[in-house]
Structure 1
């Protein structure tokens, strides 16, 4: 079984064999997901292809002009202040 030690700052070094299996490299992000069935946390790579975003937002009902987009952006900027 592979293990790691938690430092006083709450940091760990993920062992190389675990990084290899997960496909992790320097700079990658990971997520800790609670498995409610087991009550344990799972380490999951937070790396997704940009292609995974395809279809996340539906097509607009009618075409939107650049002017309408700019007006909407300008309106949000003023509203947030």
Structure 2
């Protein structure tokens, strides 16, 4: 979801991969990987920092699983 949100922001702003690399302090090949959802070599922290560079607020919430909810991870974008 983080990569999807970043790609959506890139599309909305009409930026090239080179421009995104300059904004996010990522290399152009890393930006290309994100755009293609090839995230094997891209950390969660890197994605979060890239979103912050796009003026986004990234929030991680940890809470006990309730009986009605299955333990797991959820990202809302």
Q: When the two structures are superposed, what TM-score results if normalisation uses the length of structure 2?
A: 0.22
Specify which structure has the higher proportion of helix: 2
Greater RCO, 1 or 2 (C-alpha within 8 Å, sep 6+): 2
Larger radius of gyration: 1
